[in-house]
Structure 1
């Protein structure tokens, strides 16, 4: 019943299974082990991150809106509009957001067939270039409660370029 060959196969199988188990344990420790500093061990930082200084930061020079608009480039604004295409169209049809044909100097909430949230009335009566400039910077901050989920364009140059582009399709 049990000959030498059968016993050799059983012992080989057990040793092989143990070897696979130990290799798996080694691989898991290599992948998931935190290295130095894990499990409460102390280690030196590789670099120091400065949290700030006691001196006040220099404020960026404030450039007035008219100067920014004078240097706006509609060609660059067309590229910036790529961020708006997910929700807005410029062919006169509404999408997730209202169409932006003729948006510059158009009344706020004036697109027929689009269901506005009502929060935009805080921005003003019309989408003047200056109102657009501030709104596009931080939509949720300018009109709290708006359903527009876009975080905004932090660069003033991008905003004026976008407004210059939108003026060309008005």
Structure 2
């Protein structure tokens, strides 16, 4: 039925394995830990290497600005990027789909397509769809218009957005 000696051996085996596991973790932490130890929590091992900052990195990180990219945009690449929009948007004037049509979008008033039911957040947005506004919206629709019905996650590459905006500008 119930063998006390077997149960004790099994329990002892588990306790021994747990003890070995904990000791191995403690030893590895002490051997490989690079952060602060003990009471001197502000002490960190390592060296600080100071270098002069010439400001060149800041200019390299920014890359070309939006207007330059739109001026250099490739319309055929923009048409390919539009393929991501095609499921919900149509290009023909007045032909709304799940989203409003994109005919004459650049510089059009926001939320202004007759016959399309916009979210209240989009319908109440002032201004028009200039280059900067389209770029911000295409990068992160839900971040630009809180409460939009558009479920698209956005275009992360600025080149894709510039190509798409240049392509949309030709649809008039």
Q: TM-score, normalised by structure 1?
A: 0.63
Q: Distance in 2 between matches of 1:123 and 1:67?
A: 27
Return 5+ residue gaps in structure 2 as ranges. 1-17, 22-56
Moved over 2 A (4+): 58-63, 120-124
Kindly report which structure 2 residues correspond to 1:1-170, keeping only aligned pairs within 5 A, or say none.
Answer: 60-92=61-93, 93-120=95-122, 124-170=126-172
Return 5+ residue gaps in structure 1 as ranges. 1-39, 43-57
Q: Distance in 2 between matches of 1:82 and 1:144?
A: 25
Post-superposition offset of 1:62:
4.1
Root-mean-square deviation over aligned CA pairs: 2.4
Q: In the comparison of the two structures, how many residue pairs are matched? A: 118
Cα deviations across residues 67-108 of structure 1 (Å, max 9, x unaligned)?
Answer: 111111111000000000010001120010000000111110
Q: Distance in 2 between matches of 1:136 and 1:124?
A: 17
Cα deviations across residues 35-94 of structure 1 (Å, max 9, x unaligned)?
Answer: xxxxx9x8xxxxxxxxxxxxxxx7732432221111111110000000000100011200
Q: TM-score, normalised by structure 2?
A: 0.62
Alpha-carbon contact 1:123-1:131 (below 8 Å) kept: no
